[in-house]
């Protein structure tokens, strides 16, 4: 039984870690949106810069949706852990059930940092202007 409790605790730790990371990224999107608004207020933007700015704003909206969806999936997985039968044999089922979410998080994090890097390059481009 102690082994099962540790197993569930470890799975819950993964979910908590992902939740904290997603909340951080959501806050980061707020900061990026504010910076985009600062850049947008500048009078010297050309059409190319405005197009990039609009694409970044659209990506922020999409990223917020992805974050929301992932947070919902995490919540569902937490409910699965809370309702798990403590007497059920330890067979790795709950771990395997988290695998698709683990893969989604891995993909999301990779795409998030690619997006963040592109946005930081855009901001740097406009520092001198």
Instruction: Compute the average pLDDT of residues 94-103.
Output: 92
Task: Output the pLDDT for position 85.
Answer: 78
Q: Indicate the helix (H) or strand (E) that contains 93.
A: helix 93-125
Regarding pTM above 0.75, the answer is yes
111 has a pLDDT exceeding 90 = yes
- Number of domains forming the structure of the chain: 1
Q: Which residue has the higher pLDDT, 101 or 44?
A: 101
Domain span including residue 71: 2-125
Alpha helices (H) along 41-92:
47-82
Cβ neighbours of 12 (radius 10 Å)? 14
Distance CA 124, CA 129 (A): 10
110 has a pLDDT exceeding 90 = yes
Distance CA 22, CA 34 (A): 19
Write out pLDDT tens, residues 42-62.
878 888 889 999 999 999 999
């Amino acid at each position: 039984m102690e082994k099962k409790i540790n197993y569930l605790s470890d799975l819950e730790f993964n979910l908590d870690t992902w939740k904290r990371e997603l909340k951080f990224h959501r806050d980061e999107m707020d900061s990026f949106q504010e910076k985009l608004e600062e850049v947008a207020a500048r009078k010297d933007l050309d059409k190319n810069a405005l197009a990039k700015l609009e694409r970044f704003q659209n990506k922020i909206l999409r990223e917020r949706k992805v974050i929301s969806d992932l947070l919902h999936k995490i919540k569902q997985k937490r409910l699965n852990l809370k309702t798990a039968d403590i007497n059920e044999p330890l067979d790795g089922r709950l771990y395997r059930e988290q695998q698709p979410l683990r893969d989604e998080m891995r993909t999301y994090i990779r795409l998030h940092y690619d997006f963040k890097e592109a946005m930081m390059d855009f901001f740097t481009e406009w520092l001198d202007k």
